[in-house]
């Protein structure tokens, strides 16, 4: 059903690798073989193929010069191309993560082909074989990423099936699928982006006057002609329940900093918060041709969830994506007024809950759609009753989970242990079980901090055990040149050029220096790396781990303790 593919283009050569369940096909400068190897019954899957490989493939099948097409794409020029095969892009909606970064995160060999793509002669037989080797490696990685993202792609197929969309709609992002489901009818909206409206259930006189005034003042200034860009970046800092809070259109955030506690705590989250607010206040995008569909999808999701039917996740995706799409000017659901109404009211309603609970709880943190509180013996029933009444007043469903232990640097970096022993973390501690294909740099910090805070394990023990157990990816920093001209490694006092993506480790070998990004012949040390580092871009399992400076990582973790 799926064929994974990658294309490499040189001045005088082009190569395609196709990978199916049964076999691998190598194609070199042979359009007939390429055409005969493709089938409309199989979906082509690439990596960044929507922006590159699909266009090159369409060009090859219509007799165009692939090198000329490739150069246009590299220069950022628009190229029109129509491909008669259904394709999926394994890179879709993962924020521009390159395949080499993925391979580095996975611990694979990331050494780049030494052959210049602009070489002005046909490749030798040996060079062709080498390119095929690298190309096939990329295709196999693409297949792995696709399999790891199976839920993402399955959800898109299920949305297409559930809402009877054309099969080609599966190529869309989930936000674009939500627009298709809600039958958008694009219209020119008035200049009312910050004509903010309060939820009719809110008792504004029960909220801090400074917060209400903050949003009312923004609305007033917008009506008077100020531009939305600057107004939407404004923030208000105010103390609520003894904690400094920041309000703004990105959400409300507040937390006790550098805090550790063991005892009776609750995490209170509003279930489907933003979709609920959209329905309760008719804050659904005005671009939606059938806004009542949003409510029906919401109700269907609740019914499926009650029946423990996993299909409820399909509807959840549509609902949440429809909210986010309202702030994306390139999405048919674009309606920033409704988006701003939802985020503002979400903050004000959560603030009301904090104030209602303040007399008999200790607020630990508040974060957009939920709060964590501590309480004394005998107070739980009263707290649950307040939560119940609050939910009824605002027509919201709230989920409550008991927490036993917390360690919190700030609102974005914390770890909690729930009453059932489950541990969840965010920010610097979130990858305490190890990195993944998307992000895998310095997760020895996450692991050691969580072990320290939740289990009382000394930091040096975690670091040494990880080294002994060959969990070497925990020590790496994956860095890419990005918008810089390149990267370089200082060795024996000389700068040695590096490839665009590199895997970096701290060492105590004196002939190694730092690793730098280069721009205009100036050197900028890669953040979070040692002054003495070594680079290993081969398969991680083949690295000499004795080069790693264990003491550097112990000190690094200790510097993150609060």
Task: Say if residue 236 is in the same domain as residue 385.
Answer: yes
- What distances in angstroms separate CA 547 from CA 60, 475, 533, one per listed residue? 47, 12, 9
Task: Say if residue 230 is in the same domain as residue 266.
Answer: yes
Of 113, 148, 183, the residue that ends a domain is: 148
- What distances in angstroms separate CA 139 from CA 48, 102, 499, one per listed residue? 12, 12, 20
Of 393, 428, 463, the residue that ends a domain is: 428
Residues 6+ apart with CB under 8 A from 421: none
Angstrom distance (rounded) from CA 358 to CA 354:
6
**142, part of any domain:** yes
Task: Say if residue 363 is in the same domain as residue 229.
Answer: yes
pTM: 0.92
Give the 3-state secondary structure percentages of the chain, helix then strand then coil, rounded to 5.
40, 25, 35
Q: Residue 15: give its domain's CATH number.
A: 3.30.420
Q: Residue 268: give its domain's CATH number.
A: 3.90.1600.10
Task: Say if residue 142 is in the same domain as residue 223.
Answer: no
Task: Say if residue 403 is in the same domain as residue 455.
Answer: no
DSSP state of 140: H
Angstrom distance (rounded) from CA 517 to CA 521:
10
Angstrom distance (rounded) from CA 333 to CA 175:
9
Residue 2: its pLDDT value, please? Answer: 96
Task: Say if residue 493 is in the same domain as residue 386.
Answer: no
- How large is the greatest C-alpha to C-alpha distance in the chain, in angstroms? 82
**329, part of any domain:** no
Angstrom distance (rounded) from CA 259 to CA 111:
43
**375, part of any domain:** yes
Tokens 């964590």 sit at which residue? 372
Residue 320, phi then psi, degrees to nearest 5: -65, -40
Instruction: Record the tokens describing residue 353, joined without a space.
Output: 């809950």
Residue 67: closest CA among 119, 19, 142, 134: 119
Q: Answer for the pair 342, 273: CB distance below 8 angstroms, yes or no.
A: no
Residue 559: its pLDDT value, please? Answer: 97
Task: Say if residue 19 is in the same domain as residue 107.
Answer: yes
Pairing of strands 494-498, 43-46: unpaired
Residue 96: its pLDDT value, please? Answer: 84
**320, part of any domain:** no
Task: Say if residue 481 is in the same domain as residue 526.
Answer: yes
**93, part of any domain:** yes
Task: Say if residue 450 is in the same domain as residue 549.
Answer: yes
Tokens 């960044």 sit at which residue? 48
pLDDT tens digit at each of 562 positions of the chain: 899 999 999 999 999 999 998 899 999 999 999 999 999 999 999 999 999 999 999 999 999 999 999 999 999 999 988 999 999 999 999 988 999 999 999 999 999 888 988 899 999 999 999 999 999 999 999 999 999 999 999 999 999 999 999 999 999 999 999 999 999 988 899 999 999 999 999 999 999 999 999 999 999 999 999 999 999 999 999 999 999 999 999 999 999 999 999 999 999 999 999 999 999 999 999 999 989 999 999 999 999 888 998 888 889 999 999 999 999 999 999 999 999 999 999 999 999 999 999 999 999 999 988 999 999 999 999 999 999 999 999 999 999 999 999 999 999 999 999 999 999 999 999 999 999 999 999 999 999 999 999 999 999 999 999 999 999 999 999 999 999 999 999 999 999 999 999 999 999 999 999 999 999 999 999 999 999 999 999 999 999 999 999 999 999 999 999 9
**What distance lies between CA 200 and its chain's CA centroid?**
34
Report helix, strand or coil for 184: strand
Helix (H) / strand (E) element for 52: namely: none
Task: Say if residue 405 is in the same domain as residue 461.
Answer: no
Task: Say if residue 55 is in the same domain as residue 18.
Answer: yes
**15, part of any domain:** yes
Of 396, 428, 460, the residue that ends a domain is: 428
Number of domains present in the structure of the chain: 3
Task: Say if residue 423 is in the same domain as residue 465.
Answer: no
**354, part of any domain:** yes
Give residue 276's domain range: 204-287+335-428
Angstrom distance (rounded) from CA 285 to CA 392:
25
- What distances in angstroms separate CA 373 from CA 119, 268, 293, 400, 417, one per listed residue? 63, 8, 36, 11, 14
**122, part of any domain:** yes
């Amino acid at each position: 059903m799926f064929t994974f593919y990658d294309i490499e283009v040189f001045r005088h050569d082009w190569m395609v690798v196709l990978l199916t369940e049964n076999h691998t096909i190598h194609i070199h400068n042979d359009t007939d073989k390429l055409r005969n190897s493709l089938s409309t019954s199989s979906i082509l899957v690439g990596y960044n193929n929507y922006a590159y490989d699909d266009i090159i493939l369409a060009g090859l099948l219509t007799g165009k010069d692939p090198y000329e097409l490739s150069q246009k794409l590299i220069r950022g020029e628009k190229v029109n191309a129509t491909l008669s095969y259904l394709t999926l892009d394994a890179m879709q909606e993962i924020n521009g993560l390159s395949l080499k970064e993925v391979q580095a995160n996975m611990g694979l060999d990331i050494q780049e082909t030494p052959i210049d793509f602009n070489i002005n002669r046909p490749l030798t037989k040996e060079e062709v074989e080498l390119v095929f080797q690298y190309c096939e490696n990329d295709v196999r990685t693409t297949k792995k990423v696709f399999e790891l993202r199976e839920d993402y792609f399955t959800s898109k197929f299920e949305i297409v099936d559930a809402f009877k969309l054309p099969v080609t709609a599966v190529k869309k992002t989930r936000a674009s699928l939500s627009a298709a489901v809600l039958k958008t009818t694009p219209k020119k909206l008035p200049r009312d982006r910050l004509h903010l409206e309060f939820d009719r259930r809110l008792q504004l006189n029960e909220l801090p006057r400074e917060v209400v005034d903050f949003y009312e003042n923004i609305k007033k200034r917008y009506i008077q002609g100020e531009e939305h860009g600057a107004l939407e970046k404004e923030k208000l800092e105010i103390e609520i329940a003894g904690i400094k809070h920041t309000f703004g259109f990105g959400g409300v955030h507040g937390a006790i900093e550098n805090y550790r506690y063991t005892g009776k705590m609750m995490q209170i989250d509003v279930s489907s918060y933003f979709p609920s607010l959209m329905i309760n206040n008719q804050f659904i995008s005005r671009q939606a041709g059938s806004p009542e569909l949003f409510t029906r999808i919401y109700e269907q999701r609740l019914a499926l969830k009650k029946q423990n039917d996993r299909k409820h996740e399909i509807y959840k995706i549509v609902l949440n994506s429809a909210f986010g799409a309202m702030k994306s000017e390139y999405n048919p659901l674009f309606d920033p007024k409704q988006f701003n109404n939802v985020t503002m009211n979400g903050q004000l309603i959560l603030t009301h809950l904090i104030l209602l609970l303040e007399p008999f709880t200790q607020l630990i943190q508040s974060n957009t759609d939920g709060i964590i509180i501590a309480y004394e013996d005998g107070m739980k029933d009263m707290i649950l009753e307040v939560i119940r009444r609050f939910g009824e007043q605002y027509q919201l469903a709230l989920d409550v989970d008991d927490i036993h232990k917390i360690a919190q640097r700030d609102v974005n970096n914390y770890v909690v242990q729930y009453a059932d022993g489950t541990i969840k973390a965010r920010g610097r501690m979130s990858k305490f079980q190890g990195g993944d294909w998307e992000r895998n740099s310095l997760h020895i910090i996450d692991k050691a901090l969580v072990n320290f805070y939740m289990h009382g394990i000394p930091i040096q023990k975690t670091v040494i055990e990880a080294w002994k157990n060959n969990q070497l990816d925990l020590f790496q920093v994956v860095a890419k040149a990005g918008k810089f001209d390149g990267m370089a490694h200082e060795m024996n006092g000389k700068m040695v050029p590096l490839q665009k993506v590199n895997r970096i480790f701290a060492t105590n070998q004196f002939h190694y220096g730092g690793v730098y990004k280069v721009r205009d012949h100036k050197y900028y040390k890669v953040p979070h790396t040692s002054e003495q580092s070594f680079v290993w871009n081969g398969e991680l399992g083949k690295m000499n781990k004795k080069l790693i400076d264990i003491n550097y990582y112990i000190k690094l973790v200790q510097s993150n303790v609060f």
